[in-house]
Structures are given as C-alpha cells and as structure tokens.
C-alpha cells in the first residue's frame, strides 16, 4: 500500500510544482506587459510634449521665408538661411511660442531664441489651421527715412525708459547693431528686424546691460530670431531636482544640497561681487533705474572666469514702467500689489490702489539670495561680520527715509569686506 501511495504523492507534488511555475510565469508575463505598457505611455507623453514644445524648424522656416522674400535681414540671416553655418542644437524650450535652443555659429556657441506666433490647438480628426503669426515685420513701412526711423526708436525708448538724458547715444548704438552687414547704412529689411527685436523687453534690456558685462552678448539676429553667447555655468548655485522628487525633498535639505554644487569660497566671492555690481549699475544708472523682479538662482550664471551673468533679462523691468503698472492696479490687500515674482508695493486702502514705491529694493533681495551662498564655507575670522552686514542689507526697505544714502553705505561696506578677502588672490 505504501508503494501505491508513492506515485500518487509524486504526481501531486509534480502537479503543484508545475502549477506554481505556470503562476510565476503568468505573473512575470503580466508584469513585463505592464512595464512595456507604462513605458510606452511615458515615452509617448514625453515625445508629445517634446514635439509640442520644440518647434525650432518652424521658426527657422518662417524666418528664412521672410528673408528670401526681402522682408527682413540681419547679421545672422545669410549664415542661417543660405550657408547654414548657424544651426539649432538641443531644445531648451519651456513655452511653445518662445523657442529656445542651444546653437553654434562658426567658432561661437550660444543660445538661440525665436518667437512663434500663437499656436492653434486642434482635436484629432480636424484639419489643422494655419499658425497665426504676430504682425511683427510691418514696421517701418516702405519709404521711411533713416531720420524717421531714429525718431521711431527714440519714442519707443521713451515709452519704455521714460525721459532720460542719454537716449540719443542709445539710439545710435541700436542703429549700429541694426546694420547687420556693416555697410554703414541701415536698409529697410534690417530696420524691420531691429524694430521687431526692440518690441521684446529682454532684448532691449540685454543691450542696455551688456556693455557692463552683466548679460550675455548679442551675437547676431535675423528678424526676431537672435543668438546670444552661451554662459557655461548655471544656475548660480544648486541643481534642479527631477520633478517627481521635488515634493519629497524638504526645503532645508534642498538648500543644503544646493551648496554642494558651488565653486570654492573665493570664487563665490568674485561671483557675488558681480551680482552686487549689477545691482549698483541698475540703481540710478545711465538709462534710469531698473528693478529685478525675480532673484532666483536659476536666472543667473557665471563664466569660466567666474564673472556673473544675468541669463534671463525678462526678470528686469524699468522703474518707470513698474510705477505706471502699479499705479493702475486696484487692490484690497498688499497681496494684490505684486509685479513678477517678488516686486511688491503696499495697498493704499483709502484709494484701493497700489502705491508706486517698492517695499524691498534690489540690494535687499540680492543679499537674501547671497546669504546662504556666501556664509557656507566663509572663513571663521570674518563670518560673524559678514553675517551682520548681510542681515543689515536684507533689512533695507525701499520706502524708508534716506534710503539712497543707506543703500550706498551698505553696498560699499559689503563690497569692501568681500574685496579684502580676495584682493590678494588670483580670483581678484
């Protein structure tokens, strides 16, 4: 009887073993299928987002079409459209209508920007409508003289910067840039390209600040497509976490991690001096005063020589324009009186209008950005004094009495303290 049981037990064990193997196979087959399905979906979403955001070929085709029809011209048109020695590289766009690419032009590497008109979305099965383009290249009109164009540019600058004493020299600088082929005169197609560029605040403000070395140089343009020099290091400090991790990493830990990816302390001082000099130059500068309305580290970078560059001039606004905008804003509380990310004024509750004076000046916000950056790794013998000066700087208020004098005093003291630390090193 025991002999008869053995085969049956063996058959049962063999059956259960085979059944278990089959179950494991089915489970792994299902997991493999699920992985492929999810991976395919992620790839599809990523590809769709890329094709939606990255439309550089559309920009180039539209620009070159207008160049070949004689509507526009500029220093980069021949290289972009005829010789094809100016090329678009990696897509960096975050907005569909604002195309941003790395690029190369001969020995230069840089960043290429191009504005697309409004992109029309359509449902599957519908015929796509033609892209509606902004009417950019209709001015100046045929028959406009150079003197009339100068007047157009001057009036445009007055509308942006207010009445400033040195606008005449700025007009001459802009006409020099507009003369793309360097033949000593500005043609109608070149004037149309220059006029289109001037409608973009970031280009105008970049031209204002590049003479002081605060922004990347404009290398060339064709229509409203333009290329600026590449800033090799950015952001100012830290790194961008992948979006799934952002909500899981505490703010304090991320700030600590940010300091791991910075240059040596003397080099940080040199970069910081560049930021303080930028603040100094736009405070009652040659063409008026300007506000930086977002001091996030992502908007700044630095060169191989550790010279600071403002890489996003969209965060800069002329003070005259800021005041006009705030005057027109209605408010219930101070929270309603915000321009950009952090240019704030207070609410006049009696008139329910925002006041014109900014609550916090550029210098105070710059010091807030630099506080952790400079204190991390600072020499022990000067850390306490540096911290004291940074906190005094952060306490500045834009509407305080004697603000101009206090602003200059704090700025000069902080620059002198930092300069003493690097004046004897090669980083100076």
How is 97-123 classified by DSSP, letter by letter? TEEEEEEEETTEEEEEEEE--BPPP--
- Domain that residue 103 falls in: 56-116+135-229
Question: Are 269 and 418 in the same domain?
Answer: yes
Question: Are 266 and 387 in the same domain?
Answer: yes
Question: Are 79 and 222 in the same domain?
Answer: yes
pLDDT of residue 127: 37
Cβ atoms 368, 394 nearer than 8 A: yes
Domains contained in the chain, number: 2
pLDDT of residue 85: 93
Dihedral, CA of residue 269, residue 274, residue 275 and residue 278, to nearest 10? 160
Question: Are 210 and 256 in the same domain?
Answer: no
- How many residues comprise the chain? 428
* CA–CA distance, 397 with 391 (Å, rounded to integer): 12
pLDDT of residue 150: 93
Inside any domain, residue 108:
yes
Cβ atoms 114, 63 nearer than 8 A: yes
3-state DSSP assignment of residue 38: helix
**Buried b / exposed e along 328-349 (16+ C-beta atoms within 10 A):** ebebeeeeebbbeebbbbbbee
Inside any domain, residue 48:
no
* CA–CA distance, 351 with 331 (Å, rounded to integer): 9
Inside any domain, residue 75:
yes
The DSSP symbol for 141 reads P
What distance separates the 2 farthest-apart alpha carbons in the chain?
118
Inside any domain, residue 90:
yes
Question: Are 315 and 408 in the same domain?
Answer: yes
Of 197, 229, 261, the position where a domain reaches its end is 229
Question: Are 319 and 176 in the same domain?
Answer: no
pLDDT digits (tens, 9 = 90+) for 1-38: 444 544 554 445 454 545 555 655 655 665 665 666 55
Inside any domain, residue 42:
no
pLDDT of residue 64: 94
Task: Map tokens 């004046």 to a residue.
Answer: 423
Question: Are 272 and 384 in the same domain?
Answer: yes
Question: Are 177 and 309 in the same domain?
Answer: no
Q: Which residues of the chain have pLDDT under 70?
A: 1-52, 117-136, 238-261, 399-403, 425-428
pLDDT of residue 95: 80
* CA–CA distance, 160 with 172 (Å, rounded to integer): 17
């Amino acid at each position: 009887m025991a002999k008869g049981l053995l085969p049956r037990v063996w058959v049962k064990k063999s059956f259960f073993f085979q059944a278990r193997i089959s179950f494991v196979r089915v489970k792994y087959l299902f997991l493999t299928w699920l992985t492929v399905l999810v991976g395919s979906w992620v790839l599809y979403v990523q590809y769709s987002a890329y094709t939606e955001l990255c439309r550089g070929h559309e920009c180039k085709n539209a620009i070159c079409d207008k160049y070949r029809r004689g509507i526009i011209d500029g220093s980069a048109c021949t290289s972009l459209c005829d010789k094809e020695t100016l090329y678009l590289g990696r897509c960096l766009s975050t907005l569909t209508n604002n195309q941003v690419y790395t690029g190369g032009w001969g020995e230069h590497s840089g960043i290429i920007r191009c504005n697309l008109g409004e992109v029309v979305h359509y449902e599957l099965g519908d015929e796509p409508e033609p892209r509606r383009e902004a009417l950019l290249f209709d001015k100046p009109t045929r028959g406009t003289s150079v003197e009339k164009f100068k007047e157009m540019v001057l009036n445009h600058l007055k509308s942006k910067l207010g009445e400033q004493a040195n606008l005449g020299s700025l007009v001459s600088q802009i006409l020099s840039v507009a003369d793309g082929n360097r033949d000593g005169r500005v043609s109608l197609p070149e004037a149309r390209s220059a006029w289109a560029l001037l409608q973009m605040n970031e280009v105008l403000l970049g031209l204002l600040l590049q003479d002081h070395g605060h922004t990347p140089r404009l290398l060339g343009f064709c229509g409203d497509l333009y290329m600026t020099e590449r800033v090799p290091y950015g952001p100012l400090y830290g790194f961008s976490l992948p979006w799934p991790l952002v909500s899981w990493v505490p703010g304090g830990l991320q700030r600590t991690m940010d300091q791991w990816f910075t240059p040596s302390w003397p080099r940080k001082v040199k970069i910081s001096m560049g930021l303080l000099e930028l603040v100094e130059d736009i405070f009652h500068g040659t063409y008026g005063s300007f506000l930086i309305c977002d001091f996030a580290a992502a908007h700044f970078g630095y060169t191989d020589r550790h010279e600071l560059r403002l890489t996003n001039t969209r965060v800069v606004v002329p003070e005259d324009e800021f005041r006009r905008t705030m005057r027109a804003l209605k408010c219930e509380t101070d929270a309603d009186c915000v321009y950009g990310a952090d240019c704030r004024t207070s609410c006049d509750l009696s008139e329910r209008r925002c006041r014109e004076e900014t609550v916090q000046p550029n210098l105070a916000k710059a010091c807030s950005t630099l506080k952790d950056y400079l204190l991390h790794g600072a020499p022990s013998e000067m850390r306490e004094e540096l911290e004291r000066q940074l906190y005094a700087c952060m306490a500045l208020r834009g509407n305080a009495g004697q603000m101009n004098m206090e602003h200059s005093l704090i700025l000069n003291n902080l620059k002198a303290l930092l300069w003493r630390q690097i004046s004897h090193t090669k980083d100076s």
